[in-house]
Structure 1
């Protein structure tokens, strides 16, 4: 029954992200975050009140737990758009946020230590509720009403006037120099026809560029049916099943290693030893969840690799060179941002899949001490595959599709994870607690995860040929996403 409850709870938690993603794409992350922080604060308050008189107020605990889960997933999901504020460092910030979410169970140990030190439980809950109110206040004051656009999307407002080059925009750094230089080049080319004309011609040019990009915007159906998204569903579903099954069946697998080891009979002393050993290893596994926060920046750095040195078009490279050095290096072949993001995603998913295969191999080896390595690999995979998928979606899909696609992917992965319960029942039933054949099947299925980076490799080759043609012939900006 506990395994069934764990399965249903995991499914509901993941399935909730789909309606949240749709609402977030429609109304932005701010309303979602406000509702989430208010729900979380209310849950902590109800828990504190219920603890004052558990016999009378115990029904409030069920409402408090429901609000706690709903508020937590709202806060987590709405935070996934925040990394767009950090430009090329966005994937690293996203990895840190996913790592903090994956390692959040460690806070239970901190709360337990505070409680054991003599702090009343009511005080702890009201303090937590106050912190949630601070999150609500921060969101109300600082978060924008719309989603944070990706740096390469043409959704920033740019007004560049001729007189004094007055600027009203949100573009900084390299992209600022690029826009200003392009405007200067256009003004110098059109100077004879602009004498005596004080209108904002450069602003019109930039506005026309934004309109062209908007015309090439990708429909949601195209993003939904793209091979990248479909292959990611398979990869994430298989990985989710592998990770969730181990979390649900870990105690039984450890017990099988200690108690039976293939024997049909067991003694009372051996059973007691098994309980103590399983408790110790479960504690170590819980503490190791903190590794998610420490290892997730690695996958973020992989997704960020050399993004700052990339451009969107050859014209941008020429303009950037003019702005910085005064000399255009027109013979240099540019490094395109989209291709580099695909390269980084290939590296991230390949590394994650190798770790997943290594994790599956260690599960097959009947060695109790080797389980420490299994814990480390499980923790790394658990943090890596969410970060890699989020970085991939942010790289190849429009911002206004991110929430819905991520929510749909989470729902499909949750459906895959439902298979862990029949696998668990098969392990404790016909297989008599031996997880070997279940682990063999999961190891073979995890090899399907290499199909996504394989397709990304093929798609990157197509883009390289297309950009090579653009470099040799007329310059053509890759405005749309042809996935």
Structure 2
């Protein structure tokens, strides 16, 4: 499929024509701060990055066994894959791409809100010290817009663990009903708000982000419908979640063409019918199990027989789960505690906090930063805001690259005595290191007060964010027991909210003591980003320790086999040693 794109040069020529036409539509009437050719080069660079992404997938597909595996994914697996599964997958992709993460396009939305006069009461007249000229100081307005996003992001991270608990306890249907209610509330609040009720943006954006996160969590389990391709599905959903921020760009472009903000959000409110239909017909009431039973069904059935069969199957599964829970409840608590207090989780938490802090500080300040660098020229600010939103569209293309790095070892044989989970963990340091480098260079670029350099900042932000969320989910799934995946993932995000509280004093420092210049704060964030490199180093050292223990265990096995082979059968020793190595990786990882 991807090779066919390369073999047809007219497609590339058509892309260049589209870029030229789009440039004529987006080109501002005056652009003092940057030459017009920069935007052409910027869009051309994005197209090159997209082609590079396609080529990466092509290379992966041409590796031994990958093309056949990918083809099996696109075909019905043994005739058991149902149309309903594909409708669930595609509708979930649409939902993730257009609804789950639209609040993260806050920079585009702020431009519209400023034009409508939101928080305009905090703009005051001030006198410039150099020439005593009177100008309008809107630093108070910028501070409120930054705080709206900060409050929403912190509320989401704090509630991440309770959201995961509700999902595990109450199931998919209840979680989605709560999400739909919050989504409707948020869009209606923005629809009914105006400049006099700007304070409604605080609960509106918080509800919008929380609702999107809850919808995303319910969609993550869709990967269970595709067996061994579950990680691919989750990674694509991660990218769609990132790219959905571009919806705010669409709202901004429509606003510039006469469509009001209230009309756009009223349309989003009406789109809730899509979520309701999907909840009823294309999502399970509880959870999608893994591995997937052959007779598993979900959604509303048209006949009484199907409903009865599904009820019997669900009762059987529920009985099994309850019996299993009673049997292992005590051990599970101890295991979860050991995982939370392990060095591996602590270093992962430092990595999470560092990258999230840099991302949110940038998102909260991107609009005032562009305004300051463009000398308050709203035409230039609109131009760069559009460029930032366009890059966010590419998140769905960049996100699977982290999965390719994590799965690069799948077609190589395991070392003697090595488990598949240990091999997965051994492939993590390279991907983690790349995410740290992306975060560091991203911080360096947005620290430099050079307006044309922000094109590179936008690209690195999308790369860094896409890598981060995908790797966070993947690392938790391979480093800790599967029964604790939701709790560990939510715990990391919730604990990071404590550090994100630093946003408020930092934003206050920028707007007041630093007079809107975030240079010194950005330098501090860049230095702090170096802490993220602790994580790949620690994981690499841990993998070496596992390999060393495995080697010592094999030497011990050989020694016992040669000296005591008559008293103890070698097969028993081998089974005991392999079980010890496997148990060390499953539970010992939480004890380091």
Q: Same fold (TM over 0.5)?
A: yes
CA contact (8 A) 2:180 2:272 kept: no
Alignment length, in residue pairs? Answer: 389
CA contact (8 A) 2:148 2:202 kept: no
CA contact (8 A) 2:186 2:204 kept: yes
The CA deviation at 1:422 is: 1.8
Alignment of 1:319-330 (within 5 A): none
Aligned to 1:306: 409
The CA deviation at 1:4 is: 2.1
Taking structure 1 as reference, are residues 34 and 308 closer, same or farther at Cα in structure 2, changes over 3 Å only? farther
Alignment of 1:313-462 (within 5 A): 333=416, 336-462=419-545
CA distance in 1, matches of 2:503, 2:204: 28
**Which range is displaced more, 347-356 or 31-40?**
31-40
Aligned to 1:278: 381
CA contact (8 A) 1:238 1:449 kept: yes
Aligned to 1:222: 338
Aligned to 2:280: 137
Q: 1:20 aligns with which of 153, 156, 163?
A: 163
The CA deviation at 1:352 is: 0.5
CA distance in 2, matches of 1:423, 1:67: 24
CA distance in 2, matches of 1:47, 1:449: 38
Taking structure 1 as reference, are residues 114 and 432 closer, same or farther at Cα in structure 2, changes over 3 Å only? closer
CA distance in 1, matches of 2:200, 2:449: 45
Question: Deviations along 1:410-441, whole A, 9 cap, x unmatched?
Answer: 12222222212322222333333333322221
**Which range is displaced more, 124-133 or 29-38?**
29-38
Alignment of 1:19-418 (within 5 A): 19-37=162-180, 39-40=182-183, 68-110=208-250, 124-125=267-268, 127-139=270-282, 142-143=283-284, 145-146=286-287, 148-149=289-290, 219-259=335-375, 271=376, 273=377, 275-307=378-410, 333=416, 336-418=419-501
5+ residue gaps, structure 1: 158-167, 171-209, 260-270, 312-331
Taking structure 1 as reference, are residues 72 and 364 closer, same or farther at Cα in structure 2, changes over 3 Å only? closer
Taking structure 1 as reference, are residues 388 and 382 closer, same or farther at Cα in structure 2, changes over 3 Å only? same
CA distance in 1, matches of 2:410, 2:253: 43
CA distance in 2, matches of 1:134, 1:111: 25
Aligned to 2:587: 481
**Which range is displaced more, 218-227 or 345-354?**
218-227
Taking structure 1 as reference, are residues 376 and 444 closer, same or farther at Cα in structure 2, changes over 3 Å only? same
The CA deviation at 1:356 is: 1.1
Taking structure 1 as reference, are residues 39 and 7 closer, same or farther at Cα in structure 2, changes over 3 Å only? closer
CA distance in 1, matches of 2:155, 2:202: 15
5+ residue gaps, structure 2: 1-143, 297-323, 558-573
* Greater RCO, 1 or 2 (C-alpha within 8 Å, sep 6+): 1
